[in-house]
Amino acid sequence: MASRKPSVRHPSHSHPLRSHKAQAEEEIICSGCDLDLIGAAFKCTKSECDYFLHKSCFDLHRETRHKAHPDHSLTLLYSPPYESSTYECSACGEYGSGFVYNCSICQYDLHVGCISMPESEERQGHAHPLTLLYCSPYPNGLIFHCDVCHDTVPDHHWSYYCKECDYGTHLHSCAVEEEEEEAPKRGGGGGSGRGSASNGGNKGGRGSANSELAAMLEAQREMEKMQIELHMEMQRAKIAKKARKACLKLI
């Protein structure tokens, strides 16, 4: 008879955990980073508990420092420190409900995935490595647009940027939308004209800066609403699953 795998403890969870090889068809969500879990992982030893962790989330340092927030260290929290039970990542602007690297002094929060993004990265569609920036590459109020999806990137969000070509993207890869007319290619030399002035001037032919800002704010509000609804739906699904398991045990 094969011996049972040894159990381990993690401070984020009250039950012992055991190593697990997660398969895609299991459709598991990591309780640490809220992302799909495939490969090396840990799962709760209690059959009625749906707690899983990536091995990388299990091994995270409890405290760290980052160039984006040099004045204070960041502490790993196993749940958001806010009443809403969610937080907004200061790097990418998306919401999270799991582990977070937090500065309690500044209320500065980072996804555990964002904090480990490399300082240089190659992206498909551009010949040069892109450098990680922690704020907009443009001074004087110019608006920074992602060269992949063409959406506005807020000044305080991280991005990847090639100074030589004036080419930049969102922190994480974004989908390319098909357009009737192909956008002008950038990165081949010459001025790209990709920054638009905040007083309404626009060098890229995408409409006024004011209308783009309004569209960005509206999109952010819709995204926040969708993320909150998704989080609530995930929580309801977890509760329902646990309830079904409890009912089956009573039969």
pLDDT digits (tens, 9 = 90+) for 27-80: 999 999 988 999 999 999 998 999 999 999 999 999 999 999 999 999 999 999
The total of other beta-carbon atoms located within 10 Å of residue 216's CB is 15
Bridge partners (DSSP) listed for residue 207: none
Does residue 183 register a pLDDT over 90? Answer: no
Which residues pair with residue 41 across a beta bridge?
20, 54
- Point out the least confidently predicted range of 129-143, 152-166, 209-223: 209-223
34 Cβ contact list (under 8 Å, min separation 6):
96, 97, 98
Is 10 or 240 the better-scoring residue by pLDDT?
A: 10
Closest to 161 in 3D by CA, of 118, 129, 192: 129
Q: How far apart are CA 195 and CA 233, in angstroms?
A: 39
